[in-house]
Amino acid sequence: MYGQYRSVVDCPQCGYHSIQFDPFCTTSLPLKNNTLKKMEINYIENHLTIHKLVISYDKSWNWKMSDVLNEIKKQISK
Protein backbone atom coordinates (compact mmCIF):
# COMPACT_ATOMS: atom_id res chain seq x y z
CA MET A 1 0.00 0.00 0.00
CA TYR A 2 1.28 3.48 -0.75
CA GLY A 3 -0.01 7.02 -0.47
CA GLN A 4 0.55 10.32 1.30
CA TYR A 5 0.05 11.55 4.83
CA ARG A 6 -1.33 15.07 4.97
CA SER A 7 -0.64 17.24 8.02
CA VAL A 8 -1.94 20.73 8.68
CA VAL A 9 -0.44 23.11 11.25
CA ASP A 10 -1.88 26.51 12.17
CA CYS A 11 0.22 29.00 14.13
CA PRO A 12 -1.94 30.52 16.92
CA GLN A 13 0.25 33.67 17.06
CA CYS A 14 0.68 34.72 13.42
CA GLY A 15 -2.08 32.64 11.81
CA TYR A 16 0.29 30.98 9.31
CA HIS A 17 -1.35 27.91 7.74
CA SER A 18 1.09 25.12 6.75
CA ILE A 19 0.16 21.99 4.80
CA GLN A 20 2.73 19.19 4.49
CA PHE A 21 2.50 15.98 2.43
CA ASP A 22 4.71 13.01 3.29
CA PRO A 23 4.75 9.91 1.08
CA PHE A 24 4.69 6.39 2.51
CA CYS A 25 5.17 2.96 0.99
CA THR A 26 3.51 0.82 3.67
CA THR A 27 1.40 1.40 6.73
CA SER A 28 0.01 -0.82 9.44
CA LEU A 29 -3.66 -1.10 10.31
CA PRO A 30 -5.13 -2.56 13.50
CA LEU A 31 -6.78 -5.94 13.06
CA LYS A 32 -9.97 -6.67 14.95
CA ASN A 33 -9.63 -9.63 17.27
CA ASN A 34 -13.01 -11.20 18.02
CA THR A 35 -11.58 -13.42 20.75
CA LEU A 36 -10.59 -10.55 23.07
CA LYS A 37 -13.26 -9.67 25.61
CA LYS A 38 -13.54 -6.93 28.21
CA MET A 39 -15.50 -7.08 31.45
CA GLU A 40 -16.30 -3.93 33.44
CA ILE A 41 -16.97 -4.43 37.15
CA ASN A 42 -18.00 -2.00 39.88
CA TYR A 43 -16.50 -3.00 43.22
CA ILE A 44 -17.97 -1.30 46.31
CA GLU A 45 -15.62 -1.06 49.27
CA ASN A 46 -16.92 -0.44 52.81
CA HIS A 47 -20.33 0.66 51.44
CA LEU A 48 -18.72 4.00 50.48
CA THR A 49 -16.13 3.78 47.74
CA ILE A 50 -16.84 2.50 44.26
CA HIS A 51 -13.92 1.13 42.26
CA LYS A 52 -14.31 0.51 38.53
CA LEU A 53 -12.34 -2.49 37.36
CA VAL A 54 -11.73 -3.56 33.76
CA ILE A 55 -10.71 -7.14 33.11
CA SER A 56 -9.57 -8.10 29.63
CA TYR A 57 -9.23 -11.72 28.61
CA ASP A 58 -9.09 -13.94 25.55
CA LYS A 59 -11.96 -16.35 24.94
CA SER A 60 -9.43 -19.05 24.05
CA TRP A 61 -8.30 -19.08 27.70
CA ASN A 62 -11.60 -20.78 28.64
CA TRP A 63 -11.78 -18.88 31.92
CA LYS A 64 -14.11 -20.04 34.64
CA MET A 65 -15.72 -17.78 37.24
CA SER A 66 -12.92 -18.65 39.68
CA ASP A 67 -10.39 -17.23 37.18
CA VAL A 68 -12.38 -13.99 36.95
CA LEU A 69 -12.53 -13.75 40.75
CA ASN A 70 -8.77 -14.30 41.01
CA GLU A 71 -8.18 -11.49 38.50
CA ILE A 72 -10.49 -9.19 40.51
CA LYS A 73 -8.55 -9.99 43.68
CA LYS A 74 -5.29 -9.24 41.90
CA GLN A 75 -6.52 -5.83 40.73
CA ILE A 76 -7.96 -4.90 44.12
CA SER A 77 -4.71 -5.72 45.92
CA LYS A 78 -2.68 -3.32 43.70
Query: Per residue in 7-50, pLDDT tens?
Result: 999 988 998 999 999 998 887 777 777 788 888 988 888 888 88
With respect to residue 23, please indicate whether it lies within any of the assigned structural domains: no
Residue 59 lies in a domain: yes
Say if 41 falls within a structural domain: yes
Specify the pLDDT at position 8.
92
Range of the domain at 45: 36-76
Nearest CA to 21 among 10, 32, 8?
Answer: 8
Are 45 and 51 within 8 A, CB to CB?
Answer: yes
Number of domains, the chain: 1
Assess whether pLDDT exceeds 90 at residue 2: no
Residue 1: which pLDDT band, with cuts at 50, 70 and 90? low
Query: Is 72 within the bounds of a domain?
Result: yes
pLDDT attached to residue 19 = 93
**For residue 70, what is the enclosing H or E element?**
helix 65-76
Give me the pLDDT at residue 61, please.
Answer: 86
Residue 9 lies in a domain: no
Phi then psi dihedrals of residue 39, to 5 deg: -120, 125
